[in-house]
Amino acid sequence: MNADVKTVRSLIRVTAEWLEGKGVDSAKLNAERLLADVLGLSRIELYMQHDRPVLGRELDVYRQLIKRRAAGEPLQTILGETEFYSRAFKVEPGVFVPRPETERLVETAAELLAPGDRNHIAPVAVEVGCGSGIIAVSLALEVPRLTLWATDVNPQAVALTKRNARTHGVDGRLTVLAGNRFTPLPEHLRGAVDLMVSNPPYVRTDDIEGLDREVAEHDPHTALDGGKDGLDYYRALAAGLGTWVRPGGWIAVEIGDDQAAEVQAIFAAAGTEESRVVKDYADRDRVVIARLSGGED
């Protein structure tokens, strides 16, 4: 990078070119977001001050952030924040970084809790493997009458979910517990859950090394590795359905785009019906929903 570049406009231009040469997607957007963060400005303010000089410590800090991005560290973890469902969420290294396609899971899950069902006057949902909490917190915001429980085996993820819940004012309706899958859930939830939701690890073990480096090298492998066939976590969720979800309740999960039929079969074997596949906005299979048998019509 050219040490003589010292204005916002020229710095963005040369940085975008450099990042693009390093194989970074959306290089200009990355350059803008990182510079705006260093200068404490919004992207709009950045362009209102396009001739502003960038000197000294600001330039040094910016160069360090750009080097981290070029080395494959996700933009979200560098900034410590990501946008999801048009809301800002804190993220941090060591916790899975949410992807935009997961918005489809939230949208679909919220639709399942429509108030037309007499059981959904005050519904209860459980998220298994909450990560940064974007699913549980978003559902709480989209369905104000909803009470949620969320679990994660990673204590760091539990703390981050609690932080995001407080920030968005839903911590009074969202209880976050550390532990493996269903283990930390209280006994009174047995057979009382209206919706189980999860974005589980679904990458085949042998495929992890072939993922983009910002995923393979920076997301925790426990949040990626779904076992030899990528389906281990779906089997574990299915095993808990009859225990925790009420008859007629729902499960909604994110899937890999080639896993729909297998996930549907796993849930069907556990006693579900009315299974459906939902595509993401790139027209790829992304969500499977299924209803546990035994509910009233």
Residues carrying an active site annotation: 96, 199-200
179 — alpha (psi -120 to 50), left (phi > 0) or beta?
Answer: left
- Say if CB 68 and CB 104 are below 8 A apart: no
CA 75 to chain centre: 14
Write the DSSP string, 233-259.
HHHHHHHHHHHHEEEEEEEEEE--TT-
39 burial via Cβ count (<10 Å: 0-12, 13-18, 19+): middle
Report the C-alpha gap between 115 and 94 in whole angstroms: 37
Question: Taking each helix axis from N to C terminus, what angle separates 232-244 and 260-269, rounded to the nearest 10 degrees?
Answer: 30
CA 261 to chain centre: 23
Task: From 263, 256, 252, 255, select the one nearest 290 (Cα to Cα).
Answer: 252
Report the C-alpha gap between 87 and 169 in whole angstroms: 13
CA distances from 216 to 1, 83, 96, 271 (A): 27, 21, 11, 35
Which value, in Å, is the radius of gyration of the alpha carbons in the chain? 21
